Amino acid sequence: MNIALLGPPGAGKGTQAQRICHEFNLAHLSSGDVLRAEKMAGTPQGLRIRDFIDKGMLVPDDLMIQLMLEKILALPGGFVLDGFPRTVPQARALTDLLHDALRPLSLVLNFVVNPRVLSHRFEGRRICPVCLSVYHVDSMPPRVAGVCDNDGHELLIREDDRPEVVRQRIELYQTSTGPLIAYYAQLGILKTIDAGGSVDDVSVVVLDKIRRHFAQS
Ligand code: AP5
């Protein structure tokens, strides 16, 4: 079972990816987490990546494809990709790689959320700078305000969650990632998810869609 998640920034892809992986015993690979880890490592490549992420721009396709394809091939079994692919060249490179490896994508879930709901999600998001766990001050608060449940580190606001950067990310999503919806619809593996409800409500819909899809195929 190999699944990819599409959806605008803040749609809840990372949150639902964790639940899908837990339910179906899959590996979770988030391109944002891969890039943030590179950025924190402070290598020349990490510094280059930081310039793109902090401005809300996409990391160039050649670098992204090089970083992600190797990691995807190394995954031992079924997986959920969150944030990759994000452009048509990335999608084509992924299709070719998985075709050659006889591990094609079986399902792509497209998360759709009203923009007003999205801005509330950005405003309240907090992340642990060490283990990268994601919280929300209202909908997914930590046990102690401002502190990571897993390792006790102080939670931070993501640099790219500033309103002006968020605007840029959403615009880029529409122009660069929007065409992927047609790309995967044409392959016959796209399903749409109304992701505007609570975390638990969206999970019920997502897990049910996945079960039905695999029961029919
Ligand atoms: P990335 O980290 O992938 O960011 P994104 O796609 O913009 O998605 P987000 O992480 O913002 O949101 P999400 O949908 O995962 O939502 P989450 O679950 O956190 O990428 C960051 C940057 O890296 C990009 O801008 C780009 O520069 C670069 N990049 C990454 N991939 C790339 C690629 N392939 N090519 C080029 N560049 C790339 O939820 C959001 C908040 O809402 C959380 O606080 C959560 O607790 C809360 N929440 C979630 N679901 C719900 C719900 N149902 N109800 C209430 N609250 C909810």
Task: Give domain status of residue 87, yes or no.
Answer: yes
In the annotation, is 125 catalytic?
A: yes
Task: Give domain status of residue 123, yes or no.
Answer: no
Condensed to tens digits (0 to 9), the pLDDT of residues 157-215 reads: 998 898 889 988 999 999 998 899 999 999 999 999 999 999 999 999 999 999 998 88
Indicate if the pLDDT at residue 108 is higher than 80.
Answer: yes
Provide the residue range defining the domain that includes 187. 2-114+164-216
pLDDT reported for residue 81: 97
pLDDT reported for residue 34: 93
Task: Give domain status of residue 159, yes or no.
Answer: no
Indicate if the pLDDT at residue 86 is higher than 80.
Answer: yes
Pocket residue to mutate for ligand 1, from 6, 28, 58, most atoms within 8 A of Cβ? 58
Cβ atoms < 10 Å from Cβ of 39: 20
Task: Give domain status of residue 53, yes or no.
Answer: yes
Residues 6+ positions from 215 with CB-CB distance below 8 Å: none
Radius of gyration of the chain (CA): 17
Indicate if the pLDDT at residue 107 is higher than 80.
Answer: yes
Task: Give domain status of residue 170, yes or no.
Answer: yes
Task: Give domain status of residue 139, yes or no.
Answer: no
In the annotation, is 13 catalytic?
A: yes
Report the number of distinct structural domains present in the chain.
Answer: 1
Cross-strand bridge partners of residue 139: none
Q: What is the CATH number of the domain that holds 22?
A: 3.40.50.300
C-alpha distance from residue 59 to each of 45, 69, 176 (Å) = 11, 15, 12
Task: Give domain status of residue 119, yes or no.
Answer: no
pLDDT reported for residue 6: 96
Give the rounded percent of residues in the chain with a pLDDT score beyond 90: 75
Task: Give domain status of residue 175, yes or no.
Answer: yes
In the annotation, is 36 catalytic?
A: no
